[in-house]
Structure 1
Amino acid sequence: MRLFLLTTLIMCAFAANSILNRLAIDSGASDPAGFAVIRVLSGALVLAALVALRGGHIPVVNRRRVVGAGSLSLYMIGFSVAYLTLDAGLGALILFGVVQITMFSIGALAGSAPTLRQISGAGIALGGLAIVLWPAGTVQVEPLGASLMTVAGIGWALYSIAGRSEPDALSGTAANFIVALPVTGIALFLLGSNWQMSPLGYGLAALSGGVTSGLGYALWYRVVPQLSPAVAAVVQLSVPVIAITAGVILLAEVPSSRLLLGAGFVLGGIALAVLRRNRG
């Protein structure tokens, strides 16, 4: 039960990231690149402060940072730039689809192949997500945006897998954010991103980085070793549904039948993949 509650809390934190990102960018308070940089900076500052208060050490110079910080940078860069040309719903669908495929594949290569129930559950949940997120009208997939979101999905999958062997979740996450900061900033600058941030944009990005990203990712690194790669992948399909549901609640909107149908498939698929069948 404790693992279930912690995992649910983490998924809610990930969903809050999506909401904060959408609020900042859709309102014009921030550009995607600026939001990403402030997000990583805030996460690094908050996590470093927590490690210092605990009297711990941040292993910045460590071979784990190659995968940990490198994959975090891939995710941040790909995610930020892709949404400049890609529909938000379609982008999320590509992102989480790639995460599933990558984590399932890595798990299989590492000797933890997904079961038929897990594959079936992931398929049902991903189908439900497609019902929720598929854009209305004519769908135009911008190749560069789709490619960047694919890179982001691979980056997040590798980041999640790297957490399974991180000896100290808090200090490891802090080190990843610190190393990822200059990499992300320089890459976004070279890609020609413009810095357009208002005070509200700074505030939303700082909240996302310091709380829902920094603390959320540290908690994810603590929980993910207790989950199989397949389960860790499938439960993340709940994030877009949680984000959309939170938006409905906060904006007092009436949920559509499409949302309810898709959410039912997502939750049912996750349950099929995660819950163990009792024998006897």
Structure 2
Amino acid sequence: MSAVRVFIFTLLALLAFAGNSLLCRAALIQTSIDPVSFTAVRLMSGALVLWLLISIRTEHNAGQGNWWSALALFVYAIAFSVSYVNLSTAAGALLLFGAVQASMIAYGLWQGERFSLLQSLGFVFACAGLVGLLLPGLSAPPVDAGLLMIMAGVAWGVYSLRGKSGGDPIKVTAGNFIRTVPLALILALVFLDGLLLDLDGVWYAVLSGALTSGLGYALWYTALPYLKASTAATVQLSVPLVAAMGAVLFLAEPFSLRLILASIAILGGIALVTLTARNAKDTT
């Protein structure tokens, strides 16, 4: 694949990741759809698009994946939607991204990886930024919603780590999305009396599932083999900032001083970890 195509696919994938936050937040504040319905429609739409993609690409299109990964994906999706009822787009994206990266870094430490002093400082800064964002104050997001988004980030981190086992990433993702559909339907049945379907909200969910999730993941996994691991980790630093700018432009959300400082601590700390790791590998 040419460098231009890799750049375009990567850029579109990052925009899609930020778009997930914008679409979910817009649906929950501008329409009457509830988080459970949004999640169910999103997962079903993503499963359908990914199934169509693998159907076009291969003759044997049963998909791959497994139930444990599907469960992690489902936990991420429902926690993501419920938390965005009370979180701003920027705060939610920052907490999600920070939790994903922090959980994956923590897993590496648990597996025996060793950090340099700079990497350790970066990890401490990132964790301090997450804690600082949730400390009580006038501009602090609700703690319960914030913790729920952190749970979504940890679940996505688990899903990402499990996805490193190999296989066709698009088929694996399709198989996992397809497995989330019965989980979403069971949850919808449990909360049947509280479901609120809204045509505009459903369209937001369809766009989130089909476009920014299904196609977004497909683009990302297509470009990923052509990116260095450190590059892939570093470029994702832009996602919360893109989501924040989109929220200011399209949802008229403020960007508080607390959020700015937390962004510097979280994104700067993670950048210090990933870039220091890259430099260490380049010198060996």
TM-score normalised by length of structure 2: 0.75
- The CA distance in 2 between the partners of 1:268 and 1:38, in whole Å, is 35
The answer to whether the Cα contact below 8 Å between 1:68 and 1:162 also exists between their aligned partners in 2 is yes
Displacement of 1:39: 0.5
Question: Cα–Cα, structure 1 residues 136 and 6, in superposed 2: closer, same or farther, change >3 Å?
Answer: farther
Q: What's 1:205 paired with?
A: 205
Question: Cα–Cα, structure 1 residues 33 and 193, in superposed 2: closer, same or farther, change >3 Å?
Answer: farther
Q: What's 2:239 paired with?
A: 239
The answer to whether the Cα contact below 8 Å between 1:166 and 1:221 also exists between their aligned partners in 2 is no
- The CA distance in 2 between the partners of 1:243 and 1:90, in whole Å, is 9
Displacement of 1:80: 2.7
After superposition, the CA RMSD in angstroms is: 3.8
Unaligned runs of 5+ in 1: none
How many residue pairs align between the two structures? 274
What amino acid does structure 2 have at the position aligned with 1:23?
A
Once the two structures are superposed, what CA deviation does each residue of 1:144-201 show, in whole Å capped at 9, x if it has no partner? Answer: x555444322211111112222311211111111001111231354256722122211
90-99 vs 175-184, greater mean Cα deviation:
90-99
What amino acid does structure 1 have at the position aligned with 2:167?
P
Q: What's 2:161 paired with?
A: 161
- The CA distance in 1 between the partners of 2:132 and 2:225, in whole Å, is 28
33-42 vs 22-31, greater mean Cα deviation:
22-31
Unaligned runs of 5+ in 2: none
- The CA distance in 2 between the partners of 1:10 and 1:178, in whole Å, is 21
2:95 is the alignment partner of 1:106: no
What amino acid does structure 1 have at the position aligned with 2:241?
V
Q: 46, 51, 54: which one pairs with 2:49?
A: 46
What amino acid does structure 2 have at the position aligned with 1:159?
Y
Displacement of 1:91: 5.2
TM-score normalised by length of structure 1: 0.76
The answer to whether the Cα contact below 8 Å between 1:45 and 1:210 also exists between their aligned partners in 2 is yes
Question: Cα–Cα, structure 1 residues 251 and 32, in superposed 2: closer, same or farther, change >3 Å?
Answer: closer
Displacement of 1:225: 9.9
Question: Cα–Cα, structure 1 residues 102 and 9, in superposed 2: closer, same or farther, change >3 Å?
Answer: same
Question: Cα–Cα, structure 1 residues 21 and 161, in superposed 2: closer, same or farther, change >3 Å?
Answer: same
Q: What's 2:70 paired with?
A: 69
Identical positions, percent? 39
- The CA distance in 2 between the partners of 1:257 and 1:138, in whole Å, is 8
- The CA distance in 2 between the partners of 1:76 and 1:23, in whole Å, is 16
- The CA distance in 2 between the partners of 1:45 and 1:125, in whole Å, is 36
